[in-house]
Structure 1
Amino acid sequence: MKSLLSGILVFFCLAANAQTPPFENNVYRHEIKSVEFYNSKKASSFPIITLGSDETVTLGFDDLSGGTRTFNYTLQHCDANWQPSKITSAEYLESYTDDRITDYIYSSATYQKYTHYQLKLPNQNIIPKVSGNYILKVYEDGDQQKMILTRRLYVVAQKVAVAATVQSSNKVLLRRTNQKVNFTVDCSGLQVQNPRTEVRVLLMQNARPGTALLNNTPTYIRGTQLVYNDVDINDFAGRNEFRHFDTRTLKLNSERISKIYKDTANTVMLLGDPNRNLPDYTLLYDNDGKFFILNQDGTDPRRDADYAYMYFNLAANKTAADGTAYIVGQFNDYQLDDRSRLQYDDSGRWYTHLQLKQGVYDYEYVWVDNATQKPDDTTLEGNYFETENEYQMLVYYRQVGSRYEQLVGYGQLNSAKQ
């Protein structure tokens, strides 16, 4: 009996210490498309707002099932690792804990019928009370078991200053491919007792969570400044500029479009994509992985931009025996799943088609090798120091004795505009 009780005790201890998977940007229903989430001042911008300001974020998405449905939403406070904070909703939210999305419009003059939903936060019903990471949950009929989508929201109370530079890697073998970020955090506006345990900084490339590096301790401390410049940290693959296509109009072929067919639906055949892993960098202009819903032939792309089946084909110079290719971008949250997987055929090319709303899209291909099972977006795209990238720096602070982590600083750096 004693050993049985001990085993049960160990089980509950392990369960209590086990972490749930971190919250991430995700869409859980196939009929939900074109999810946008950004600071309302600029489309496709980083979804961050200042606590207590008049700034808002905008959420927009389409429901291709038509009609109207009851969509509710709430916010949940998280730490820097996107685990739920150990505080109640009453401690981080004013007013109500959840609400219903009531702003929607029906599509007009489109082949594909849909309902567009829109939400702005904060609003009179949902207001963040403290700074930090928040996960926005949208679900159906007030039931969080019927999850529709999740989005990461950042609420900052700017109390520190961040200064950063980008240089080539300190490692000789990586100088032609990698970008190293060195930065300093000035904590004079904070009451920090032990910077090595109370402050940590997260870096992302092009707002892409999969690139995130979390700095838990500074290289050294200089007065009120925390310096992060160790030779082995914050070394990012430069990668390549994103590929793109433009479907702002479906009346004529734009760059990268081979043919457009109109019948009961719009079908767009794109030109073939080559393997871009070449010896030298080629200058191209991109939107750092973003997408924009636009329609030159209408007045309001929220309701009159149509959908099209976009057909992609890739000459990867690799076969299905070597691995699998995926197509990713901000438009699909960089998710590697069945929806982003390409199929290989006997012609030696990889194919897929996606149903996407009119606009301008950045995208790239990720290769998952059969031997390593590790995703790599440089195998098919190339990797160059000269690539223009944006870096987001988020400074988190957990005061001694606090039960949650604050977001006390934010900075953005462009590798080509220092």
Structure 2
Amino acid sequence: MRYSALTLLLALSAATACVPLGTPITDPSAGRVGQASPVQAPRANVPLRFEDAVYDPDIQSVQCYVSTGQPTEIFAPPVVPLNQGNPIVLEFDLLGNQSRRLTARLVHCNADWTPSVLTDLQFLDEINEFNLTDYRTSTGTQVPYYHYRLRVPPVKLSGNFLLVVQGPDRQPLLSRRLLVYDNKMEVAAQLGLPPGGAARYTMQQVDFVIRYGAFPLVNPAVEAKVVLRQNFRWDNAKYGLRPTFVRDAEQQLDYQFFNFENAFPALNEFRPADIRSLRSGGLNVAGVNLQASPREIALLPEPTRAGRAYTQYEDADGQRVFESRDFLGAGATNADYVWTTFQLQAPAVAPGPVYVFGALSDWQLKEDFKLSYNAQQQLYTGRVLLKQGYYNYYFVVGRPGAAPDAAYFEGSYQPTENQYDVLVYYRPPGTRADLLIGYRPLVANGQEVQLRRGSLFR
């Protein structure tokens, strides 16, 4: 991700204020999408999913990041070292004209995101229930909402954590995956060239090594569990990678494969849409309907990019920023919700359902982001309620039991800039949970890193 120009393009304030918990604040005259009832109807038991999930349609615009004090902090994934110099922050909106008493808790998970058997006191120094007292009401918006913010407390152990926000009925409203690492091993990574003909032009391969030094590994090839991610996604992460070489003398594990085990489709730079202003059309906006309530924005019909020449430009790697340029103030509370219509030109029906995909959909194939095809117009269209801001996204084709196919409409080009990270887990003998003892981020084809081939595998 290239932040130099994005810092100027997307800088926004994150001002919030605390409102003490008390009697819920209501405004009977305020309307909203679907008109919320002043009294919440009881919900059936909702099973907790150990993934980034939203369980209540009133929860929108969830962001989870590391607070660094910089304008680009919202791009920092929820990954922190164990000493946690900077906290993880969760922000989201609750649509409607009534606030709720919300709490949050942490669940320690194993490397495969199953819950561990640790008790709360084994990874926390405080009671595992955090009140969300930092919230503000929206200002000057057609769609009323309450904006919540939570600083996640520090933990005592490394590993995977699921942050769960729940309502007064103790049912989950949203969940987010967090990572806390404690680097006990040295992890080094570089971008390699995938073997095999045309794949070198469409794939990106990440070669890496793990140097475990004096760390007590008896069977390092088995005990070190490795996960490889692209753009901090979990839906296409690589699990179960075994080292190709074990160098006992150097106490080093090499991961340099030849059958694409550690390779990803490079895809393309993300498509942008700027809906921060309702008074003037932003990037990729075809028109605005100010008479509708909520107001409506139509994006330009977009062509397929597969088979076309690659064009490099700065993007946000699928992320988004919430902001309104029409009014002064914090985008967290003065950005309105608008119906946004996506349009994709397609001469024929795709070999599967088509979705808008990115951080705006939690990197999942959600029904709200599914597009319908008009054969006469040769156009896929779909309408989604989005908060004003700057968005990145792909058009993808859903595939049963597999990661979405983004290359069908976006193409795949090796020079594309992507972010990768390597996660190394280990369960010490006699313990009951996996710890995250190695973490290494890498930017492929970006200005932030200098990639020197051949420097790792000496």
1:332 aligns with 2:357: no
Extract unaligned runs of 5+ from structure 2.
Answer: 1-46, 452-458
1:201 aligns with 2:226: yes
Structure 2 residue corresponding to 1:149, chosen from 151, 171, 174: 174
State whether residues 106 and 116 of structure 1, in contact with CA within 8 Å, keep that contact through their aligned partners in structure 2. Answer: yes
Q: Distance in 1 between matches of 2:176 and 2:427?
A: 23
2:160 matched to which residue of 1?
133
State whether residues 198 and 400 of structure 1, in contact with CA within 8 Å, keep that contact through their aligned partners in structure 2. Answer: no
Report the more deviating stretch, 37-46 or 374-383.
374-383
Letter in 2 for 1:37: C
Letter in 2 for 1:363: Y
Higher strand share: 1
The Cα shift of 1:119 comes to 0.2
Q: Distance in 2 between matches of 1:373 and 1:120?
A: 34
Structure 2 residue corresponding to 1:364, chosen from 394, 397, 403: 394
1:74 matched to which residue of 2?
105
Q: Distance in 2 between matches of 1:93 and 1:172?
A: 51
Alpha-carbon RMSD across the aligned residues, in angstroms, is 1.9
TM-score, length of structure 1 as denominator length: 0.89
The Cα shift of 1:294 comes to 2.0
Letter in 1 for 2:193: S
Q: Distance in 2 between matches of 1:335 and 1:353?
A: 17
The Cα shift of 1:265 comes to 2.5
Deviations 1:319-341 (A, max 9, x none): 27x43111111122122131111
Q: Distance in 1 between matches of 2:219 and 2:241?
A: 12
Letter in 2 for 1:132: G
1:226 matched to which residue of 2?
253
The Cα shift of 1:66 comes to 2.3
Count how many residue pairs are aligned between Structure 1 and Structure 2.
391
The Cα shift of 1:21 comes to 9.2
After superposition, residues 314-393 of structure 1 pair within 5 angstroms as 314-319=344-349, 322-345=351-374, 346-368=376-398, 375-393=404-422
2:200 matched to which residue of 1?
175
Letter in 2 for 1:208: R
Structure 2 residue corresponding to 1:50, chosen from 63, 70, 81: 81
The Cα shift of 1:23 comes to 1.2
State whether residues 235 and 403 of structure 2, in contact with CA within 8 Å, keep that contact through their aligned partners in structure 1. Answer: no
Q: Distance in 2 between matches of 1:374 and 1:112?
A: 34
Identity %: 33
State whether residues 397 and 407 of structure 1, in contact with CA within 8 Å, keep that contact through their aligned partners in structure 2. Answer: yes
Q: Distance in 1 between matches of 2:354 and 2:56?
A: 23
After superposition, residues 17-28 of structure 1 pair within 5 angstroms as 23-28=50-55
Letter in 1 for 2:131: R
SS at match of 2:125: strand
Deviations 1:272-331 (A, max 9, x none): 1111111432223211111111223322111111111111111123327x4311111112
SS at match of 1:379: helix
Q: Distance in 2 between matches of 1:29 and 1:202?
A: 30
Q: Distance in 1 between matches of 2:238 and 2:403?
A: 18
State whether residues 203 and 212 of structure 1, in contact with CA within 8 Å, keep that contact through their aligned partners in structure 2. Answer: yes
Extract unaligned runs of 5+ from structure 1.
Answer: 1-19
State whether residues 65 and 89 of structure 2, in contact with CA within 8 Å, keep that contact through their aligned partners in structure 1. Answer: yes
Q: Distance in 1 between matches of 2:285 and 2:403?
A: 31
State whether residues 72 and 142 of structure 1, in contact with CA within 8 Å, keep that contact through their aligned partners in structure 2. Answer: no
State whether residues 159 and 435 of structure 2, in contact with CA within 8 Å, keep that contact through their aligned partners in structure 1. Answer: yes
Q: Distance in 2 between matches of 1:156 and 1:254?
A: 40
The Cα shift of 1:373 comes to 8.2
2:342 matched to which residue of 1?
312
Q: Distance in 2 between matches of 1:71 and 1:367?
A: 36
SS at match of 2:369: coil
After superposition, residues 87-106 of structure 1 pair within 5 angstroms as 87-106=118-137
Structure 1 residue corresponding to 2:329, chosen from 295, 299, 320: 299
The Cα shift of 1:142 comes to 5.2
1:17 matched to which residue of 2?
none
1:9 matched to which residue of 2?
none
SS at match of 1:380: helix
Letter in 2 for 1:33: Q
Q: Distance in 1 between matches of 2:172 and 2:417?
A: 36
SS at match of 2:235: strand
1:184 aligns with 2:215: no
1:164 matched to which residue of 2?
189
Change (3 A) 1:80 1:369: closer
Structure 1 residue corresponding to 2:265, chosen from 214, 234, 237: 237
1:120 aligns with 2:156: no
Q: Distance in 2 between matches of 1:215 and 1:195?
A: 14
Structure 2 residue corresponding to 1:273, chosen from 302, 319, 326: 302
1:31 matched to which residue of 2?
58
State whether residues 275 and 380 of structure 1, in contact with CA within 8 Å, keep that contact through their aligned partners in structure 2. Answer: yes
Letter in 1 for 2:282: S
Change (3 A) 1:183 1:22: farther
2:312 matched to which residue of 1?
283
| Runs of 4+ with >4 A deviation | none
The Cα shift of 1:36 comes to 0.4
Letter in 2 for 1:207: F
State whether residues 275 and 317 of structure 1, in contact with CA within 8 Å, keep that contact through their aligned partners in structure 2. Answer: no
State whether residues 142 and 294 of structure 2, in contact with CA within 8 Å, keep that contact through their aligned partners in structure 1. Answer: yes
